[in-house]
Structure formats: C-alpha cells, structure tokens
Structure 1
Amino acid sequence: MAKDNTPNAEAEVKENASLKPLKDEERSMGWGSYTMLWLGGCISIGTLTMGSAQLDKGLNLMQIFLAVLIGSLVLIVGICLNDTFSYKTGAPYAVQLKSAYGTKGSVIPVMIRGLPAIVWYGFQTWLGGSAINQISIALFHYNNVWLFFFVFQAIQILLSIKGFQGIKWVENVGGVVIVAAMFYLLYICVSKYGGVIHNNLGTLKPTWGIPFIAACIAFFGNSTTVMLNAGDYSRELRRGYSAPKRGASYLIAMVPATVLLGIIGAMASTATGIANPINAFGTMVDNVFIKVVVLAFILFAQMTTNLASNVVPPAYAFMDAFHMKHKTAVILVGILAVCTCPWILTNDASAAGLDVFVKIYTAFFSPIFAVLIVDYYILHKRHFTDDQLSDLYAENSSRAGINWAAIIATAVGAVIGLLNVNLSFLTATVPTGLIYYFCMKKMPSCKAFRKGTSLERVDTE
C-alpha cells in the first residue's frame, strides 16, 4: 500500500506521536520563550487567593512575604531536580512515571496529577469569564457571566488544540501584559490603601510556629503540580541549556512574580475584606479605563496559567491511559473543568477550603516526587540509554504491569502526609524515598524493575 503523504495524514501521525520523545529539531522553545512560559504559568488568581487565605493564620505582611519566598525557592529546587529526565530524553511526565510505577501502575500518579489541574482549570476559567463580564459591564453595561465563561473556555480549548505552538504565542504576549499590570496592582494597594494595610497587616505580632510553616507549604503546594510534570515543559526547550541555566529561567520567571502576587492578594483582601480578587479589585478601582486594564491582566493571567499548567498534564494523562488523540483529550479536559462547578469554588467562603485542597493534594504529590527522584538519580544514576527509553514505550516492556514498590511507598507517604497536611512535604518526602528504595531492593516482584538500575546486581548475587 502506498504511503499517504497528505497534510492531514501527516498531522494525524504527528498528533498520535505527541507522547513520543521529542527530537532536537522538534523542540519549539528557546530560553526566552521558555522563561515566559513559566512566568505565565505561575501568575494566576489562585496565587492571589492563596495570599488572602493566609490572613486567617494571623500572619503579618513580612511573614507572608517570607512564606511566599521560601515556598517558591523550595519549588524551584524541586523543578530543577525533576526536569532533567525529560530534558535529556524528550519524553513527557506520563512516560517518566512508567520507569518507577510500571506501564499500568503509572495511571495512578498521572491521574492524581491531572485531577487538581482540572479543578484549577475550571476555577481560573470562571475567574477569566468573570473578568470579561466585568469589562463588558464597564464598557457596554451588558451583564452575562455565563456567556463569557463558556466563550472564554472555547477560546482556551481552541488554543490548546494547537499544542505548544499556541501556548507559546499566548505566553510571550501575555507575559509582557501581566508584568506591567502586576506592578500597577501593587501601586494601587500601596497608594490608596497603604494606611489600612499597615494597620491591619504591618503591626501584627509575628507568629513563627506551625502557622508560618503551614503558609510556606501552602505557597509551595499551590504550584507543586508543575514540579511533578516539569518534564512536559522542559522537553520543549532546545538542547544546550545546562541545569543552572534552566534554574535561572525558573528563578527569574517564578520567584518575583509569585512573591508579588501573594503579597498583592493579602493586601487587596485586607483593604476590602473580600477574598475573591476580581471583586476586590473591582471595588478598589473606580476609573473605568484602569478597571478594564486590571481586568485584562486577570484575564491574561488565567489564560496563560491554564494553557501552560492545567491543560497539558491531564491531556497527556488521557492520551496515555486511554490512547486518545490530542484534540479529543484537550476537549475532554475542558468539559471536565466545567463540571467542577467553579462558580462555587470562587465564592468568598471557599478561600479557606481552597487552601486545604492545595495542602491535601500536596500530601499525594510529595510521595510521587520522591519516587521519581530516587528512581532517576539513585537507581538509574541520571542515565537512560536509548534502549531503556524505547522499553518504556514497548508493548512488551520490562516495566509492564504495576511496580508495587512504588505504589506501596506512595501510599505510605500519602498517609504520613495526610496526618498533618500543613507539614506534608516535610514529613512525607524522605520516608517515601527510603521505602521505595528498600522495597525495590527486597521485594521479589520488583525483579523486572531492577533491570538496568544500580540494584540489578541484587538478582545475580
């Protein structure tokens, strides 16, 4: 049969192969675009909301600043550790998991990563639709938040279908708008409400115990989702960038923006008493033009974060687990995001619940992260041969089935983390790594998974 070389056939082949390792010529991003991708991905209204959620802990402004800073720096260390596998091999997170969890066992952690992304996708799409609605009210006196919610979601789905090319364009444009608007939001808070903010936040007696540690974990957990699947992004970065250069990209993109957003969220909530950032800034700004600019920032922030952080992971998960095409997976993720009822999650009363939700999924993410790090750095010594990588894709892979060492370690780590969700990353990560290593070394069922690792000698002794 003759080979079909039509454009449609080539597009279908490319779509079906999107989980395959990216070759050098297929990587779409340079260092600048990659930095803008991470900038857009970390700037979200969720971070603003997390800032306001810390007020219930009794923290003052300096403590909130330090909590965001510490949480962000820990996150960057995690990203730098976990982006290497995919940067070197070109394989995504869903494939990376197969090495430790097995071809069937990997479905569990990949879905655990996908669920919070879908929830955040819906949450931020509703806020984006609300921002469009507020712009419509300000300019045209037309109020229809449901219409704009679905229109905004449709736009995001169409951009997501284009893959990283569509995401790259939005991130490069949105990043410039976001940075400018973010500084203006800070200016509004300080110039118009500086006295109120100082009295309510600046003079509080500091509490350096569990509440402060919990705040650090909360800000770390707010973006820990991207720490797990950092490889989905690093595989798009062109070759030639060392770990320090990639780390510099994360530092520049994420730390200043996250710190500013956390502080701005706390300031806005203190000034107005409103947890929902859109409603808060709506009351803080009375000039129509300025209000439109602020709302445009909120709109871009939702779109950049959703496209970079909340669409790719669950889409790849569905593609891998259910052998879906990219287009079908993206549309399904968009539908499921609507089904999370984000109009409830964005209520003022939901801010504290959102904080708890972040801490709970962090309790599951920390063990998965620990398993991946031990598997790559200790068991594989940071080296995957072409044959080992091909094995992860093979139907008769040596990693076929479920690696119970990884499942047991993750389950135990999650239980430890859930005992105190405020400290989950501190308490669960190291025990999970140790349990995984010793289970891999001692469990007979792990023999196939020891192949090609530093523990392979166990089966020859």
Structure 2
Amino acid sequence: MADNREEKKEASSLHSIKPEDRIMSWGDNTMLWLGGCISIGTLSMGSAQLDKGLNLFQVFMAVLLGSGILVLGIVLNDQFSYKTGAPYAIQLKSAFGTKGSIIPVMIRGLPAIVWYGFQTWLGGSAINNISIELFGYDNVWLFFILFQLIQILLSIKGFKSAKWVGNIGGVVIVLAMLYMLYICISQYGEILQTELVNKEGTWGLPFIAAVIAFFGNSTTVMLNAGDYSREMQPGMSNFKRGISYFLAMVPATVLLGIIGAMASTATGIANPINAFANMVDNPFIMIITLAFIIFAQLSTNLASNVIPPAYAFMDAFKMKHKTAVILVGILAVCTFPWVLTNDSSAAGLDLFVKIYTAFFGPIFAILVTDYFFIHGKEVSEEDLGDLYIADGTHAGVNWAAMIALFVGAIIGLINVDLSFFTATIPTALIFYFGMKYMPSCDRFRKGTTLEKSGNV
C-alpha cells in the first residue's frame, strides 16, 4: 500500500503542499502575478476605448475599477488552496465531484492551450524581428520553435521556473512600460493633450462597458487562483495577499491601457504595437518594444497558460508533470497559431472566447458558494483527503453543480459581454438550493453547514 501511495505521489504534483514546502514569498508572488497579467490584448483594449468616446481619465478609471474588481475575485477564490495547499483541479472536486470536476477543469485548461500557442507565435515573431534588425536574418519558424522549446524546458521545472521568470521578466516589463509611457508623453504630448486629455468623454454606458471589458480580460486567472496561492508561504492574511495581487495587477494593467490609448491616439493606428513601432524611427526603441513583447508572452505563458492544462491532464489522465507540460506544449503548436494570428481568424477566435467565457462566471460562483456557504470556510484534513479518493464522499458527479453550471452558462450566453455579472448570482442560488434539497446530493452534504443545520 505504501508503494502505491509513493507511486501516486511521484506521478502527480496535485497533492497538497505543506506550509514548510512552499516556495513563494510575498515578493515572489507579486512579481509572478505581474508577469502573468501582462497581455498585449490589454494594450489593444486601451486603444479600443477611444472608439467608445472615452477620454484619458475615463480610460484610467475604467482600468482601475475593472482590475480592482478582478483582484477582489481572486482574493475570494484563492482561500481554499492557500489554506489546504491543494490546486484548482482538487478544489473543483469539492463542488463538482471527482468525475464532474473534469468538465470545469478542462473549460479552464483547454483555452489556455490555444492562448499558449497564440502568444508563443507572437513571441517567436518578436525574436525574429530583433534578428532582422540586428543581423539581417529572417526565419520566423526557427524562432517560433526555439521559443516553444525554451518554454517547455522551463515548464518542466514547474513553479521554480515560473518564479524565476516572473522575477526577471517583471523587472524588464515594468522598465519597458515606463519607457513606452515616456516616449508617448515626451514626443506626442500636445496631440495627446488635445485629443485625449481634453476630450469631453462619457461616464455613461460606454464607460460601464469599458469597466466590464477590463475586468473580463483576465477572469480566467480568478478560477485557478489557488494554483498559485498554494505555493505561497504561510503567515499571509487575505489582506496581505490582496495587496500583493493589487500591486502586481492594477498599476500594470492601468499602464498598459493608457499606453495603448496614447499610442493609437498619437498615430491613428489601431494596433498599439504597430502604432508604437511607427512612433519613432529608432532601432533601439523598436528592440525595447519587442523585448517587452517577448517577456510578456514568456511570463504569461508560464504563469497562466501552462499550469492550468497541465494540472487538468495530470488529474484526468494521471500523467506525470513532465509528460503533461510536454503534451501541452505540443498541443499548443497543433492549434496552428500562425493561422489564429491572421486578421481572417479574428471573428472565429472572438466567438471561441465568448463561448468559453460564459462558463467562467458560473464556475466561480459555484466554487465561492461551496467554500463560503456550504463548507463555512472549514476544510478539515479528513475533508481534504476525501477529495483524493475516487470512491469517497465526493465520488462521481454532483448534479447540483452541473445543473447550476449549464443553466448559468446559458444565462451568460444571452449577453456574453455581461455574462459574469448576469450569471453569477443565479448560478450560486441554483447550486445552493440544489445542494440543500436534491436527494442525489446527500453524500455531498456530509460535514457541511447544510448537514450541521439539520437541513438534510
């Protein structure tokens, strides 16, 4: 029996991490989240707000509010894993059951593979452009493959690599963003003052839509926030972790949104990267911009796009960590990212994003309801151990969670742009009352607040 347990532990890093074995300090966590939240899409989103009639201050406030709400969601959902040391894939079993958890874990993991490939192609293209500028050598396929191999090798090392890349990449990214901001202000200050700062703007529906857009841009990380918090060293309160998330995500997201708006205003080019490249005919500045893109893709992939699908495969197919991350890397290439980055693919990619995003609010609502209201924030060692047992109390599928998930997703699909807000409360209510009254949920109520209050 001992041999079987040891074999299982070796084959998976999904087991609970003891407090003394956790490797992330407060500063490490801040830098990891900083690198993970940097997205070229946020630059584009800042640019997109100009067409909605927002001025610079309104863009600033929209990013601030949207990313601030996101931080609150992360703090709510990271508590289970920080307390237990178990990852998102195990957290799901508490609400969905050992079999039912496969669906939400894949909903989070599979889109990450698509974005992994997408961002790897962008990173490889950036390296190729640097090579052309410095050496006159053009071979985007070679740099794409090399960039992916580097990412796979780093991924094999797990969180140690993510921590290392986060610490270095975070510094590079911050310096690059500040330099890009300086270029915008110093060279295009008058244009920006006239067309962006002094613009009348609007605080109506376009502003509200912008807040929701900046919030929704990173909702994926709210779901598996526990994959990161379980690596954080003990002694960090909810407030202290929240400050870490806030400092990592909010200032950087605000800067990206503002830079995107400034670059597009200054040049009239919608794509902020192309806009910035055209702002100054200077090879050094272009290389700085491309280096920013490379580190942004690398840090985001390692922190946000490798871990979720790797854990999903480890849980569903009992893979070793090394095998899982290699498979994720191969599958990312098989998504044909060189096609996805074409303008002709934009509509299909946008539809794909809208469909899977509709499930995020319901999953978040179910996890938060399960932890705070069903279990009263109490997870004993016995409760945690049961989540790792195929035939335990949480065996099979919890139909209350599954029904809530799909009803919530249908509600969300009615208006995907508002899905997180329209679907969250209905999903939470369906799940809670399903848990309370459905006969099939009897075993899932064991040891919960529902059983203790005599509502079984």
Contact 1:50 1:355 (C-alpha < 8 Å) held by counterparts = no
Contact 2:436 2:455 in 1 (8 A): no
Matched, 1:33 2:21: no
Counterparts of 1:18-417 in structure 2 under 5 Å?
18-347=13-342, 358-417=353-412
Which amino acid letter does the alignment assign opposite residue 117 of structure 1? A
Amino acid at match of 2:113: I
Please report the RMSD computed on the Cα atoms of aligned residues, expressed in angstroms: 2.4
Deviations 1:204-245 (A, max 9, x none): 442333332222222111111111100000000111111111
Larger mean Cα displacement after TM superposition, 373-382 or 205-214: 205-214
Residues 39 and 175 in structure 1, CA contact (< 8 A), matched pair in contact too? yes
Return the alpha-carbon distance in structure 2 between the equivalents of residues 373 and 460 of structure 1: 20
Distance in 2 of aligned mates of 1:192 and 1:312: 41
Q: Contact 1:440–1:450 at 8 Å: present in 2 too?
A: yes
For the Cα contact (< 8 Å) 2:57–2:197, is it kept in 1?
A: yes
Counterparts of 1:145 and 1:251, CA distance in 2: 36
What percent identity do the matched residue pairs reach?
Answer: 72
Task: Quickly say closer, same or farther: Cα 1:358–1:221, change in 2 above 3 A.
Answer: farther
More displaced, 301-310 or 145-154?
145-154
Q: Name which of structure 1's ranges 283-292 and 93-102 shifts more when overlaid on structure 2.
A: 283-292
Tell me the amino acid that sits aligned with residue 76 of structure 2.
L
Mapped to 2, the partners of 1:395 and 1:103 lie a distance apart of 6
Cα displacement string for residues 289-344 of structure 1 (whole angstroms, at most 9, x for unaligned residues): 22212211211111111100111011101110111111111112112222333334
SS in 2 for 1:455: helix
How far apart, in 2, do the equivalents of 1:144 and 1:205 lie? 47
1:426 offset after TM fit, Å? 1.6
Once residues 345 and 178 of structure 2 are traced to their aligned partners in structure 1, the CA distance between those partners, rounded to angstroms, is: 27
For residue 12 of structure 2, what is the aligned residue in structure 1? 17
SS in 1 for 2:431: helix
Would you say the 8 A contact 1:15–1:326 is kept in 2?
no
How far apart in 1 are the matches of 2:49 and 2:308?
Answer: 28
What does the per-residue CA deviation read over 1:386-438, in whole Å, with 9 as the maximum and x for residues that have no partner? Answer: 01000000121211111110011111111111111221122111111111101
Contact 1:27 1:238 in 2 (8 A): yes
SS in 2 for 1:382: coil
Query: Relative to structure 1, is the Cα distance of residues 194 and 345 closer, same or farther in structure 2, using a 3 angstrom cutoff?
Result: farther
Cα distance in structure 2, aligned partners of 1:430 and 1:156: 39
Q: Deviations over 1:254-284 (max 9, x none)?
A: 1000111111122223333444444333222
Letter in 1 for 2:98: T
Distance 1:247 1:384, change over 3 A: same
AA aligned to 1:219 is F
Q: 1:406 to 1:266 in 2, by over 3 A?
A: same
* Equivalent residue letter for 2:105: V
Q: How many Å separate the matches in 2 of 1:57 and 1:357? A: 24
Question: In the superposition, relative to structure 1, how do residues 217 and 15 fare at CA in structure 2: closer, same or farther (>3 Å)?
Answer: farther
Give the deviation of 1:92 after TM superposition: 0.1
How many residues of Structure 1 are paired with residues of Structure 2 in the alignment? 455
Which ranges in structure 1 are unaligned for 5 or more consecutive residues? 4-9
- Matches of 1:91 and 1:451 in 2, distance apart? 20
Deviation at 1:353, TM superposition (A): 7.0
Distance 1:307 1:176 in 2: 16
Measured in 2, the distance between the counterparts of 1:384 and 1:409 equals: 23
Q: Residues 275 and 306 of structure 1: is their aligned pair in 2 closer, same or farther, counting only changes over 3 Å? A: farther
Equivalent AA in structure 2 for residue 292 of structure 1 = I
8 Å CA contact 1:319, 1:329 repeated in 2: yes
CA contact (8 A) 1:102 1:401 kept: yes
Once the two structures are TM-superposed, the CA of residue 178 in structure 1 deviates from its matched residue by 1.0
The Cα shift of 1:199 comes to 4.4
Is the CA contact 2:81–2:229 (under 8 Å) kept in the aligned structure 1? yes
Matched residue type, 2:53: G
Give the counterpart letter for 2:229 in structure 1. S
For 1:416-435, list aligned pairs within 5 A.
Answer: 416-435=411-430
Deviations 1:36-89 (A, max 9, x none): 111111112122122233334333322222221111000000000011100010
The Cα shift of 1:460 comes to 7.1
Say if 2:435 and 2:445, in contact at 8 Å, map to a contact too.
yes
What does residue 444 of structure 1 align with?
A: 439
Instruction: Find the aligned partners of 2:402 and 2:417 in 1 and give their Cα distance.
Output: 23
More displaced stretch, 187-196 vs 409-418: 187-196
How far is the alpha carbon of 1:439 from its aligned partner?
0.8
Moved more, 338-347 or 253-262: 338-347
Indicate how the Cα distance of structure 1 residues 14 and 81 shifts in structure 2: closer, same or farther if over 3 A, else same: same
* 1:121–1:310 Cα contact (<8 Å) kept: yes
CA distance in 1, matches of 2:271, 2:157: 31
Segment of structure 1 superposing worse, 15-24 or 342-351: 342-351
SS of 2:128's equivalent in the other structure is helix
CA distance in 1, matches of 2:332, 2:206: 31
